[in-house]
Amino acid sequence: MSLTLRKKVFITAALTGSGGTQNKSLNVPRSPQQISKAAIAAAKAGAAVVHCHVRDPKTGEPARELALYREVTELIRAADVDLVLNLTAGMGGDLVTGPPDAPLPLNEAETDMASATDRVAHIAACRPEICTLDCGTMNFAEADYVMTNTPGMLREMAGLMRDIGVRPEIEAFDTGHLWLAKQLASEGLIDDPVMVQLCMGIPWGAPDDLNTLMAMVNNVPDSWVFSAFSIGRNQMPYVAAAVLSGGNVRVGLEDNLYLERGVLATNDQLVAKAASMIDSMGVGLMTPEEVRAELKLEKRAPA
């Protein structure tokens, strides 16, 4: 990809994620009401896109119940601010083996493997403007957990997303995931303009050093739109890295809990800090309508 600094970029706020962060910060939203409130605050701070998972409102554990997604969607669409809604479709691909000396049978209590239809059921019901497509399988931090997304599964999910009329955001955790995404696009399963999120620094995908980031960026076709982020303390440095590499920006409590050392953040504080950094670089912020125009998205009306 030829590097061109964008005149304007958009910020995606990744509000809550599916990691076990709910007991590490009271600011991590759990209920649909808390998630929608965080989305509205993030939009007012400068985010054009909000990326949403759902959680069990009582325990904070990650969930994928359709009713929770419906409630989040309805609350966000009824709000007095405009934003682009991006729902995850990454849940339902969790494979957890037994220990190394006895990998089978699988750990059924923690394994959550769903069909392609089940994994996009909430997308069909809620019809967000964007949903994520994790374009590859990888070892994911924990010892015996594999994030599982086979080529067959991804082809089926991409086709369903196309038929529903929701644009996928490719989640690429390594260069091979971009290779597969380009194959899906060549097969007509992902329509132009293709949106890709470069997910850096997640064990055990692409590390977040700048050489690896540029290897990822250089594997993004010129006609695609990309964003990039890293996790933990490198979230804010990656605001600058993403902009300088010609991309857009993602921040939020899914990826980092802290505003600065020892200070727990809220989503809107992280967005505001990123917006200030972007402004100081002489780059503007895109509005939701500008994002829709670039990505050819259809604005969804409240139910």
> Which DSSP letter does residue 232 get?
G
pLDDT of residue 260: 93
- Identify the structural domains of the chain with CATH numbers, from first to last: 8-295 (3.20.20.70)
Nearest-angstrom CA–CA distance, 84 and 198: 19
Segment 190-205, tens digit of pLDDT: 999 999 999 999 999 9
pLDDT of residue 143: 81
Which residues make Cβ contacts (< 8 Å) with residue 66, sequence separation at least 6? 121, 122, 125
pLDDT of residue 201: 96
Q: What are phi and psi of 49, to 5 degrees?
A: -125, 140
pLDDT of residue 299: 84
Which residues make Cβ contacts (< 8 Å) with residue 192, sequence separation at least 6? 185, 223
**Contact predicate 74/303, CB 8 Å:** yes
pLDDT of residue 3: 65
pLDDT of residue 19: 86
pTM comes to 0.94
Q: Give the residues of the chain that fall short of pLDDT 70.
A: 1-3, 302-303
> Which residue, chain included where needed, has tokens 């132009």?
192
**Contact predicate 119/92, CB 8 Å:** yes
Segment 243-292, tens digit of pLDDT: 999 999 999 999 999 999 999 999 999 999 999 999 999 999 999 999 99
> Which DSSP letter does residue 230 get?
-
Alpha carbon distances (Å) from 111 to 98, 105, 141, 215, 300? 10, 11, 15, 33, 34
For every residue of 10-52, DSSP letters joined together read -EEEE-S-SSS-TTT-TTS--SHHHHHHHHHHHHHHT-SEEEE
Nearest-angstrom CA–CA distance, 16 and 282: 29
